[in-house]
Amino acid sequence: MSIPVFADGLTAVNLRTEYKVNPVTDATAPRLSWELTSDKRNQMQSSYQILVASAPSLLNEDKIDLWNSGQVKSRATAQVQYSGKTLVSRQLCYWKIRSWNQDGIAGPWSGVSTFEIGLLSKDQWSAQWIGLDLDNLGKGKTYHLPPAPYLRKEIKIKTGVKKARLYVTALGLYEFSINGKKTGTDFLTPGWTDYHKRVYYQTYDVTADLETGVNVLGSQLSYGWYAGYLGYSLLVGNPVVRAFYGKVPLLKAQLEVSYNDGSTQTFATGADWKASKGALTESDLLNGETYDARLELSGWQKPGFNDSSWQKPEVYQDKEDRKIQTYPGPPVKITGELTVKSQTKRADGSWIFDLGQNLAGIVRIKVKGAAGDTIRIRYGEKLYPDGHLMTENLRMARATDYYILKGDPKGESWEPKFTFHGFQYVEIKGFKEKPDAGTLLGLVIGSDTPKTGSFETDNKMVNQLYSNIDWTQRSNYIDIPTDCPQRDERIGWTGDAQVYVKSATFNRDVASFFTKWNVDLADGQFENGAYPLYAPAPNLRKTDTFSPGWMEAGIICPYQIYQTYGDTRIIEQGWPNMVRFMDFLEKRSGGNHVFKETAFKDLDPKGGFGDWLSFGQKTPPDMLASFYYAYCADLMTEMAGAIGNQSEQKRFSDTSDKIRKAVLAHYTDTTGRFICDAKVYGKGEGYVDGNLGFSGNTQTAYANAIYMNIVSKNNINKAGNFLAELIKENGGKLATGFLGAKPLLPALSASGNSALAYDLFLSKEFPSWGFEVENGSTTIWERWDSFTNEDGFKYNAAMNSFNHYAFGAVCEWMFSNAAGIQQTHPGFDHFDIKPEIDPKSGAGRIDNLKATFHTMHGEIISAWKKDGVHLTMQVTVPVNTTADIYVPADLTDQLTVDGKKVASSKDVVVKKGEKGFIILEVGSGNYVIKRQ
């Protein structure tokens, strides 16, 4: 038997810079982070030392040339800013770190990580914007879909390449290749931004891709978000339906080569490139692609190809104030593959393939046939009962790809490049041969956000629900948080994003994803200070502006990133914008600190979107706006504190008090019930579902009032009782929409109604989360009744997505309440484990639950298991953190920790606490707690 030997100190792992592993960044004081591991309990970092050098061989205390932090007394293991020598464009930095534990024992040096600085200013770019205007070749009736341009350039590389970097971006979408090999594995680059203000670029290490002699730089462009169709503009008859930012997709690329002999060479896009149309005859994000393989420019990416018939590209002027910056988010990638579960031939000769999972992505097909045979590929999330593909819910998104065969006797394989679809089923027309197992493969696409969470119980429905939530997140976090991946929308709806952001943090690491989107939000902010309905924010419909419940994403999303990751830079960067938004609210409330009925009647729809997709009487949107106003003022108070801005901390805390007072005075009666002056809304015309009437006394009102601390601590239980009463009156069912569903279960739990929260959570009756699962869902639906046995798909043509995460916001309750993982300090430096145990047992209930959540410090685990009156809890607390474990018990004597009586365990401290709980304060390590 071998005996493992552990080092005494802490070992640092998972070194990251700006949330990424070995990234390229524009941050000149990049933030470093690491996680600590130890096989011992109660481990804390007391100090750290960071070394940064320009070469690995210099990573030695006496040779260091960039930064030696020295031994810094600090617990910080994340958001630690580089503060060495000034960093310049292209600088490659190597770093490592070691930590001292609470006893002053130094751990070993970590492995070496890197970060590289991008091109910090525009004058570093010698590359020009080049493109080929093929717009007049778009000739469809409904859709104007011109072919996609191809660009190429032959270059000569000398021997002895030491380092080569490709800096590349597009207005539109690009794929780049060197000698026929795709550069990188990213998809839909360079991502969506307000291209008038900024465009991001990617940096690739292409040292290994270059050969001595002639090399070919190749690129294909597409229209994408820049020049293609966007959202529902076509559906709603907007004057502009495509080319919102520009008509011609453009490439800007610069290959920089340094040689061993010290010389350098730069190859940049310019008039000396060649351009042509090719086999990609249609290419649009929403509508799909057509690839005519007969038109393939065989060998165009290889040296020696005869491009004499190609054209000179046009060079386009840059927009002077457009920024060019390093892509800050996680790249969109193919994140998985799905094989076909079943295939069925239809009477019309077409085939339906079922991938068994609703997803966002594309398919790779393998076919054999004659030149000119056309394969039509359509996508759908559902089938009709007779087995044909349901596509009405795609509305105006054509979402169809065509592949025209060249007739290769060995067979041909193809996948689209610049589009994606939301689907579970694929319908293919045009096969000459019977498809087999290798005919079709589903390729999942999405922003590559590392998985951080898991949630598993002994209840199958709940496990499927969790899978549905995570799949819906994967399908909709595609460069920006979208509403849905299938129909003619796929835009960054701010309301959806803000209700779901906390849930998202549990499932995946979304720190850099929201770092990116937060800039989109700021870029989309209106002159008057309101954040937009969606970001990026091209005008897809004349009347689209802002709405209560949506615009607050500008405060709520960065706040959540601060909370989960301890990130104060996102606050600092967006602070002026956030303050401007608060000023806007103040001005709009006319100094009253409350939005009275009809305060937002100037919007379209009147009042904004309110509690979108709720059932029954509507919660007044103005009342919700008032709640959000108070909530935002609270978050601003906290964030001002976090960045040390005391005067604004005071300002927002005063504002928050005033709002709360004014809101309660206006919207509650003497018994504490929420009320409104419903008469003022008249027949509700122009309001979303206004014909249903308005009431202050709704589930959504209480759920939000409790969640946002509108009611005082003393009145929470009373408000909770009103809420419980309303649910009972409604036959034990929820009636909430987008704004009400997220806080519903948390509010019940916070007000002593955990049992009712569980009943709603585990219900399989319509409307509920379980109902969707019972009906075969593999993702979260847009509506509670997207499909019912009685009505089938009653909304399809209107708005019926089967991949919409807003109602997946229940995930927040699953982790924070059912598993009880509650962050109490930003970045999870300290947290509570306070699980709510399902009070009932038996079929359809939960007896056994385990959630894991990887924080900036490492993995938290919270598991519990009921066995009659006995309860076992299992908790893992990462190194450098502490936790309060709330064990539901009355007497300390009832408990054991790791088999020993609590009193005799030296690793737990019993804290005075809440009635019904024994609170155990613990340091890092694994704990098994049993209640007899």
Token pair of 199 as six digits: 């465009």
Judged by CB, which is closer to ligand RAM: 706, or 799? 799
For residue 848, how many C-alpha atoms fall within 13 Å in the half-sphere facing its CB? 9
**Cβ pair 904, 860 in contact under 8 A:** no
Shortest distance (Å) from residue 483 CB to ligand RAM: 4
Token pair of 323 as six digits: 């920024």
Judged by CB, which is closer to ligand RAM: 484, or 535? 484
The single residue among 216, 340, 444, 484 that binds ligand RAM, judged by CB under 6 A, is: 484
Q: Is position 612 an interface residue for ligand RAM (rule: CB under 6 A)? A: yes
Token pair of 434 as six digits: 């019977």
Closest CA to 242 of 343, 153, 160, 138: 138
3-state secondary structure of 225: helix
Of 389-397, 456-464, 483-491, 915-923: span binding ligand RAM (CB under 6 A): 483-491
The single residue among 483, 759, 829, 836 that binds ligand RAM, judged by CB under 6 A, is: 483
Closest CA to 770 of 843, 877, 687, 859: 843
Q: Is position 557 an interface residue for ligand RAM (rule: CB under 6 A)? A: no
Q: Is position 493 an interface residue for ligand RAM (rule: CB under 6 A)? A: yes
**Structure-token match 């709940």, residue found:** 462
Judged by CB, which is closer to ligand RAM: 375, or 504? 504
Closest CA to 484 of 652, 314, 613: 613
Shortest distance (Å) from residue 795 CB to ligand RAM: 11
Determine whether 22 is exposed, middle or buried from the number of CB atoms within 10 Å of its CB (0-12, 13-18, 19+).
middle
Shortest distance (Å) from residue 232 CB to ligand RAM: 7
Judged by CB, which is closer to ligand RAM: 365, or 799? 799
Token pair of 382 as six digits: 């559902």
Distance CA(763)–CA(466), nearest Å, equals 15
Q: Would you give the binding string for ligand RAM spanning residues 506-535, x where CB under 6 A is met?
A: ------------------------------
Judged by CB, which is closer to ligand RAM: 187, or 612? 612
Shortest distance (Å) from residue 390 CB to ligand RAM: 18
Q: Is position 609 an interface residue for ligand RAM (rule: CB under 6 A)? A: yes
Distance CA(38)–CA(731), nearest Å, equals 52
Distance CA(30)–CA(16), nearest Å, equals 10
Distance CA(66)–CA(86), nearest Å, equals 8
Judged by CB, which is closer to ligand RAM: 428, or 484? 484
Judged by CB, which is closer to ligand RAM: 166, or 234? 234
Judged by CB, which is closer to ligand RAM: 549, or 820? 549
Please tell me which residue in 116, 282, 772, 782 is annotated as part of the active site.
Answer: 782
Q: Would you give the binding string for ligand RAM spanning residues 820-849, x where CB under 6 A is met?
A: ------------------------------
* Ramachandran assignment for 874, one of left (phi > 0), alpha (psi -120 to 50 degrees), beta (any other): beta
Q: Is position 402 an interface residue for ligand RAM (rule: CB under 6 A)? A: no
Q: Is position 546 an interface residue for ligand RAM (rule: CB under 6 A)? A: no
Q: Is position 495 an interface residue for ligand RAM (rule: CB under 6 A)? A: yes
What are the C-alpha distances in Å from 772 to residues 612, 750, 756, 779, 783? Answer: 19, 26, 20, 9, 10
Judged by CB, which is closer to ligand RAM: 483, or 785? 483
Q: Is position 552 an interface residue for ligand RAM (rule: CB under 6 A)? A: no
Shortest distance (Å) from residue 357 CB to ligand RAM: 21
The single residue among 799, 821, 873, 877 that binds ligand RAM, judged by CB under 6 A, is: 799
Shortest distance (Å) from residue 184 CB to ligand RAM: 31
3-state secondary structure of 649: helix
Query: Scanning residues 340 to 359, which ones bind ligand RAM (CB under 6 A)?
Result: none
CA Rg, the chain, in Å?
29
Distance CA(378)–CA(396), nearest Å, equals 14
Q: Tell me the longest C-alpha to C-alpha distance in the chain.
A: 88
Task: Give the count of residues interacting with ligand RAM (CB under 6 A).
Answer: 9
**Structure-token match 């600090």, residue found:** 74
- What 581-585 contacts at long range (C-beta under 8 Å, 24+ apart), as own/partner pairs, is 581/525, 581/529, 581/530, 581/531, 581/551, 581/554, 581/555, 581/632, 582/555, 582/632, 582/633, 582/636, 582/652, 582/655, 583/529, 584/528, 584/529, 584/530, 585/629, 585/632
Q: Is position 925 an interface residue for ligand RAM (rule: CB under 6 A)? A: no
Shortest distance (Å) from residue 224 CB to ligand RAM: 20
Of 108-116, 488-496, 721-729, 784-792: span binding ligand RAM (CB under 6 A): 488-496
Of 60-68, 491-499, 564-572, 667-675: span binding ligand RAM (CB under 6 A): 491-499
Please tell me which residue in 282, 489, 772, 812 is annotated as part of the active site.
Answer: 489
Query: Which segments of 272-406 are extended strands (E)?
Result: 274-277, 280-284, 288-292, 314-316, 323-326, 332-339, 342-345, 351-367, 374-380, 382-383, 389-390, 400-404
Task: Examine the residue annotation and report whether 790 is marked as an active-site residue of this protein.
Answer: no
Q: Would you give the binding string for ligand RAM spanning residues 270-289, x where CB under 6 A is met?
A: --------------------
Shortest distance (Å) from residue 361 CB to ligand RAM: 19
Q: What letter would DSSP give residue 97?
A: E
Cα of first residue to Cα of last residue in the chain, in angstroms, is 36
3-state secondary structure of 926: strand
Shortest distance (Å) from residue 790 CB to ligand RAM: 24
Determine whether 387 is exposed, middle or buried from the number of CB atoms within 10 Å of its CB (0-12, 13-18, 19+).
exposed
One-letter amino acid at 102 equals: Q
3-state secondary structure of 412: strand
Name 674's bridge partners. Answer: 668
Shortest distance (Å) from residue 152 CB to ligand RAM: 40
Shortest distance (Å) from residue 547 CB to ligand RAM: 8
Judged by CB, which is closer to ligand RAM: 292, or 483? 483
Shortest distance (Å) from residue 668 CB to ligand RAM: 28
Judged by CB, which is closer to ligand RAM: 547, or 880? 547
Judged by CB, which is closer to ligand RAM: 551, or 639? 551
Of 129-137, 434-442, 493-501, 536-544: span binding ligand RAM (CB under 6 A): 493-501
SS (H, E, C) 39-91: CCCCCCEEEEEEEEECCHHHCCCCCCCCEECCCEECCCCCCEECCCCCCCCCC
Of 166-174, 492-500, 689-697, 751-759: span binding ligand RAM (CB under 6 A): 492-500
Shortest distance (Å) from residue 556 CB to ligand RAM: 14
Q: Is position 496 an interface residue for ligand RAM (rule: CB under 6 A)? A: yes
Of 76-84, 180-188, 489-497, 592-600: span binding ligand RAM (CB under 6 A): 489-497
Task: Examine the residue annotation and report whether 18 is marked as an active-site residue of this protein.
Answer: no
Of 22-30, 351-359, 411-419, 481-489: span binding ligand RAM (CB under 6 A): 481-489
Q: Is position 489 an interface residue for ligand RAM (rule: CB under 6 A)? A: yes
Query: Which segments of 691-841 are extended strands (E)?
Result: 821-823, 830-833
Distance CA(325)–CA(162), nearest Å, equals 25
Judged by CB, which is closer to ligand RAM: 100, or 781? 781
Which residues sit at the interface with ligand RAM, rule CB under 6 A? 483-484, 489, 493, 495-496, 609, 612, 799
Residues recognised as catalytic: 489, 782
